[in-house]
Amino acid sequence: MSRELEGKTAFVTGSGRGLGRVMAEKLAELGADVAIHDIDWTAPAKYGEARDLGEVAVRSASTAARSRRCTAISATRRPWRG
């Protein structure tokens, strides 16, 4: 897998679920550190995709060949560091 985004940081809004989540996972696979963001900490649970943004961050980091740092941020809760 290409690591063309190694050393870069990506901030993906709406990445708690759906297409935003998929984009965040792909950016992590390409080597970027990713900020997982959604308006609500529990947005992924509302759609049955994950328990909360923290879980999305852990999954996104683990999808990369070499884990990247993925941080979850929401408008309703302090940042989670994983």
Cα separation, 80 vs 31, in Å, equals 20
pTM across the whole model: 0.77
- At 38, list the tokens: 């959604």
Amino acid 16: pLDDT: 87
Q: Is residue 81 domain-resident?
A: no
Q: Is residue 26 domain-resident?
A: yes
Q: Is residue 49 domain-resident?
A: yes
User: How far apart are the two ends of the chain, measured CA to CA in Å?
Assistant: 23
Q: Is residue 1 domain-resident?
A: no
- 19-43 per-position pLDDT tens digit: 999 998 899 888 888 888 888 888 8
Residue closest to 53 by CA, chosen among 19, 27, 23, 81 = 81
Cα separation, 53 vs 82, in Å, equals 11
- Number of domains into which the chain is organized: 1
Q: Domain range holding 37?
A: 9-76
CB 39 within 8 A of CB 61: no
Q: Is residue 13 domain-resident?
A: yes
